[in-house]
Structure 1
Amino acid sequence: MNTQSILRSGLSRTAFGTSLAAGFALGAAGPAGAQTAESGQPDAAVALPQISVQGAQPENTLQGATGLGRMPGRIEDQPQTIQVIPQEIMRQQSVTTLGEALRNVPGVTASAGEGGGGVAGDQLRIRGFNSQNDLYVDGMRDFGSFRRDAFTFEEVQAILGPSGVNFGSGSAGGIVNVNSRTPHLGNALNMDVTGGMNWMLRGTADANYQIGETTALRMNVMYQQQRLVDRHMPTGERWGIAPSIAFGLGTDTTLTLEYLYYRYDEPTDAGIMVATRPGQTVGRPVSEYGVSRSTWYGSNFTDRDQSTVNRLTARIQHRANDAITIYNDTRVGVQERYFSYSIASCDATCSARLFSGVGGVPQYALSGGGSPYESSTWGVQNITSMVARFNTWSLRHEATLGLDAWYEDFERTTYAYGADRTAYRGNLFAPNNTLNFAYGPGTTVSSNRRSQTTQIAAFASDRIWFTPEISVLGGLRWTRQQSDYTQWGGTNPVQDFSADNAFIDPRVSLIWEPTPQYMVYASYAQSTFAPGSNWTTQPGQATANNSNLEPEVNTIYEVGARVNVLEGRLGLTASVYQIEKNNATETDPSTGTVFSSGDQQRVRGIDIGATGRITPAWLINARYSYMNSETTSSLTPANVGKRVVYVPENAATLWTSYEFGQGTPWNLTVGGGIVYGGQAFLNAANTAEVPYNFSLDAFVSHRINDQLSVRINGTNLTDNRNYVSLFGNRAVLGQGRGVMMTVSTNF
Structure 2
Amino acid sequence: MGSGVSAERRAKLLPLGAMVVAGLFGAANASAADEQTLPAVTVKANAEQQDGVRATKTRVGKVVQDPHDVPQAITTITRSLMEEQEANSLREALRNVSGLSFNAAEGGRSGDNMMLRGFYTFGDMYLDGIRDTAQYDREVFNLEQVDVLRGAAAMLFGRGQAGGVINQVSKTPMLYGINKVNVGVGTNGYFETKADLNQRIGETTAIRLNVMKRDEENGRSNPVSGTTPEIHRQGFAPSISFGLGTDHEVTLSHYWAQGNDRPDYGVPFNATAKKPESTYANNKDYWGVSGSFDESQTNVSTLSYLFKIAPDTQWRTVMRAANYKRSYWAVAPQGGAPTANSLASQAKTREFDTDNFVLQSDLNTSFKVFGMKNDLVTGVEYLKEDSTRWALQNLGTASKPLYKSGRYTSAAPNTYQGDTYSAYVQDTLEFVPDWRLTAGVRRDEMRSEYQSPVGSTGASTNFRGDFGENSYRTGLSWQPSAAQHYYLGWSDSFSPTADLYQLSGSQYPAERSKVSEIGAKWLLLDGNLAFRTALYHAVKDWERNTDLESTASILTKKRESDGIELELAGRVTDNWEVFSGLSLIDAEILEVAPGNGNKNFVGQMPRNTPKQTFNLWTTYQLPLGFKVGGGMEYKSKRYGGAPTGTGAFNPNWVPSYTRWDAMVAYEQPKYAIKFNIQNVFDKVYYDAIYDNGGFTYVGQARRFILSTEYKF
Residue in structure 2 matched with residue 339 of structure 1 by the alignment: 328
Residue in structure 1 matched with residue 258 of structure 2 by the alignment: 263
Closer/same/farther in 2, CA of residues 478 and 290 from structure 1, 3 Å limit: same
Deviation of 1:370 after TM superposition, in Å, equals: 3.8
Residue in structure 1 matched with residue 8 of structure 2 by the alignment: none
Deviation of 1:372 after TM superposition, in Å, equals: 2.6
Q: Is the 8 A contact 2:214 2:234 kept in 1?
A: yes
Deviations 1:385-420, CA, capped at 9 Å, x for gaps: 111100001211101000011011111210255997
Distance 1:264 1:594 in 2: 33
Distance 1:595 1:91 in 2: 41
Distance 1:104 1:458 in 2: 33
Residue in structure 2 matched with residue 246 of structure 1 by the alignment: 241
Distance 2:391 2:634 in 1: 38
Q: Is the 8 A contact 2:144 2:170 kept in 1?
A: yes
Residue in structure 1 matched with residue 659 of structure 2 by the alignment: 695
Residue in structure 2 matched with residue 61 of structure 1 by the alignment: 54
Residue in structure 1 matched with residue 578 of structure 2 by the alignment: 620
Closer/same/farther in 2, CA of residues 291 and 582 from structure 1, 3 Å limit: farther
Further displaced range: 407-416 or 489-498: 489-498
Matched residue of 1:298: which SS? coil
Pair 1:306 & 2:270 matched? no
Q: Is the 8 A contact 1:499 1:548 kept in 2?
A: no
Pair 1:712 & 2:675 matched? yes
Pair 1:118 & 2:105 matched? no
Residue in structure 2 matched with residue 285 of structure 1 by the alignment: 276
Deviation of 1:553 after TM superposition, in Å, equals: 0.4
Q: Is the 8 A contact 2:299 2:322 kept in 1?
A: yes
Q: Equivalent of 2:371, from 389, 394, 402?
A: 394
Further displaced range: 681-690 or 711-720: 681-690
Matched residue of 2:331: which SS? coil
Distance 1:388 1:130 in 2: 34
Deviations 1:650-700, CA, capped at 9 Å, x for gaps: 000000000012xxxx22100010011110111244511100122100000
Tell me the matched-pair count. 641
Deviation of 1:336 after TM superposition, in Å, equals: 1.6
Closer/same/farther in 2, CA of residues 143 and 687 from structure 1, 3 Å limit: closer
Residue in structure 1 matched with residue 9 of structure 2 by the alignment: none
Pair 1:449 & 2:438 matched? no
Deviations 1:266-295, CA, capped at 9 Å, x for gaps: 111222111233xx6xx01102x4553221
Pair 1:650 & 2:627 matched? no
Q: Equivalent of 1:194, from 184, 190, 206?
A: 184
Q: Which amino acid aligns with 1:632?
A: L
Q: Is the 8 A contact 1:371 1:416 kept in 2?
A: no
Closer/same/farther in 2, CA of residues 205 and 441 from structure 1, 3 Å limit: closer
Q: Which amino acid aligns with 1:137?
A: L
Q: Which amino acid aligns with 1:500?
A: D
Closer/same/farther in 2, CA of residues 740 and 58 from structure 1, 3 Å limit: closer
Q: Is the 8 A contact 2:508 2:542 kept in 1?
A: no
Further displaced range: 314-323 or 86-95: 314-323
Deviation of 1:492 after TM superposition, in Å, equals: 5.9
Closer/same/farther in 2, CA of residues 617 and 518 from structure 1, 3 Å limit: same
Residue in structure 1 matched with residue 129 of structure 2 by the alignment: 139
Residue in structure 1 matched with residue 430 of structure 2 by the alignment: 465
Matched residue of 2:556: which SS? coil
Further displaced range: 138-147 or 488-497: 488-497
Distance 2:686 2:552 in 1: 36
Q: Which amino acid aligns with 2:305?
A: I
Q: Equivalent of 1:499, from 457, 465, 469?
A: 465
Closer/same/farther in 2, CA of residues 54 and 129 from structure 1, 3 Å limit: farther
Q: Is the 8 A contact 2:437 2:474 kept in 1?
A: yes
Further displaced range: 672-681 or 69-78: 69-78
What is the correspondence of 1:203-242 to structure 2 with a 5 Å cutoff? 203-230=193-220, 233-242=228-237
Cα RMSD (Å): 2.6
Matched residue of 2:572: which SS? strand
Residue in structure 2 matched with residue 531 of structure 1 by the alignment: 497
Consecutive unaligned residues in structure 1, runs of 5 or more: 1-52, 355-360, 425-434, 586-592
Residue in structure 1 matched with residue 439 of structure 2 by the alignment: 474
Residue in structure 1 matched with residue 15 of structure 2 by the alignment: none
Q: Which structure would you say has the larger Rg? A: 1
Q: Which amino acid aligns with 1:549?
A: Y
What is the correspondence of 1:509-520 to structure 2 with a 5 Å cutoff? 509-520=475-486
Deviation of 1:367 after TM superposition, in Å, equals: 7.8
Q: Is the 8 A contact 1:143 1:378 kept in 2?
A: no
Pair 1:185 & 2:178 matched? no
Distance 1:568 1:377 in 2: 44
Q: Is the 8 A contact 1:60 1:569 kept in 2?
A: no
Matched residue of 1:466: which SS? strand
Deviation of 1:487 after TM superposition, in Å, equals: 2.0
Query: Identity of counterpart residues, as a percentage?
Result: 25
What is the correspondence of 1:464-613 to structure 2 with a 5 Å cutoff? 464-489=429-454, 494-536=460-502, 539=503, 541=504, 546-583=505-542, 596=554, 598-613=556-571
Pair 1:327 & 2:289 matched? no
Q: Is the 8 A contact 1:143 1:334 kept in 2?
A: no
Distance 1:551 1:389 in 2: 35
Consecutive unaligned residues in structure 2, runs of 5 or more: 1-45, 223-227, 545-550, 644-648
Pair 1:168 & 2:131 matched? no
Pair 1:159 & 2:141 matched? no
TM-score normalised according to structure 1 size: 0.82
Deviation of 1:187 after TM superposition, in Å, equals: 4.9
Distance 2:611 2:427 in 1: 36
Q: Equivalent of 2:98, from 90, 106, 123?
A: 106
Residue in structure 1 matched with residue 14 of structure 2 by the alignment: none
Distance 1:160 1:438 in 2: 41
Distance 2:345 2:701 in 1: 30
Pair 1:723 & 2:697 matched? no
Q: Is the 8 A contact 1:472 1:508 kept in 2?
A: yes
Deviations 1:569-605, CA, capped at 9 Å, x for gaps: 10000011011111189xxxxxxx9984634211110
